[in-house]
Amino acid sequence: AVFSKPHMSSTREGVLMVTGLEVLAVGYWATSLDDWPASPAMRGLTILLLCANASLSFAAVRFRSERAALAALAAYAALLACLVADFGVSHPNSGCGAGSGGDDTELGKLLAQLLWTVDACLLMSILGWVTIGIGFASAGWVGLLLLGFWRLLRQAGENDREVERAIASLPTVLFRGKHTPLPLLEGREPAEATSCAICLGDFEPGEELRILPCVHLYHRACIDEWIRRKGLAAKCPLCNRKLVARRRAAGEPH
């Protein structure tokens, strides 16, 4: 896959660059006298889709929103469809040959015969197709960029959900000093502890503690924040035991 192991930061910067170019395109089409898109309605729709795609792309980057990234991808696909359809209507195939120009004078006909030779027509045709090819390649690259960013955000969302499930599975207990009821985990009772190894603060009566599978105790708020910050790589600060067991997708090797 093209985006099997991308870097989130570089992809995010690429999306922001495309967003900036789209803003410039909106300004150009809104103020220029260019005749493409030819239809005023199509031009308005193009500007609307550009604004929507730029806004959704920025929102996806700013808020790490999977839905915004997917909506931006859909808006971009609609934008390409509109531009291709309008180009096909407003730029029909035209012949290439002498007399195709608008100058009907003898000098104009002579110049047309000199310029529009078979080689000149072939060259113009090749240049035209090369330009179209570059345009489609650039559009395809932007589409792949948006698709890859959406896949990155979806994977990040899955990772966050895995982390939250791991946190929710860890038991908690209210600290009551020496009378704190400590459950057995894996056949072992948590060792008696009086302080949190993360914040180094003493446990106070009534505070909620989190018990890890390695039977170490921490303040619930401290260890929860620790696990969220470390993500899938979270380990116990004292014994380095892994805390988040990532679920394997169907068909993924063990």
Task: Kindly list the domain boundaries of the chain, sorted by start residue.
Answer: 8-89+105-160, 169-233
pTM of the model as a whole? 0.65
Which pLDDT belongs to residue 99? Answer: 46
pLDDT band at 250 (very low <50, low <70, confident <90, very high): very low
Give domain 169-233's CATH architecture: 2-Layer Sandwich (3.30)
Angle of helix 118-168 relative to helix 220-230, nearest 10 degrees? 160
Query: How far apart, in whole angstroms, are the C-alpha atoms of residue 189 and residue 34?
Result: 77
Is the model's pLDDT at 231 over the cut of 70? yes
CA distance 168 to 142: 39
Q: What is the pLDDT of residue 187?
A: 55
Q: Is 25 helix (H, G, I), strand (E, B) or coil?
A: helix
Q: What is the sign of the dihedral through the CA atoms of 20, 22, 24 and 26?
A: negative
pLDDT tens digits along 40-67:
788 888 889 999 999 999 999 998 899 9
Does pLDDT of 28 surpass 70?
Answer: yes
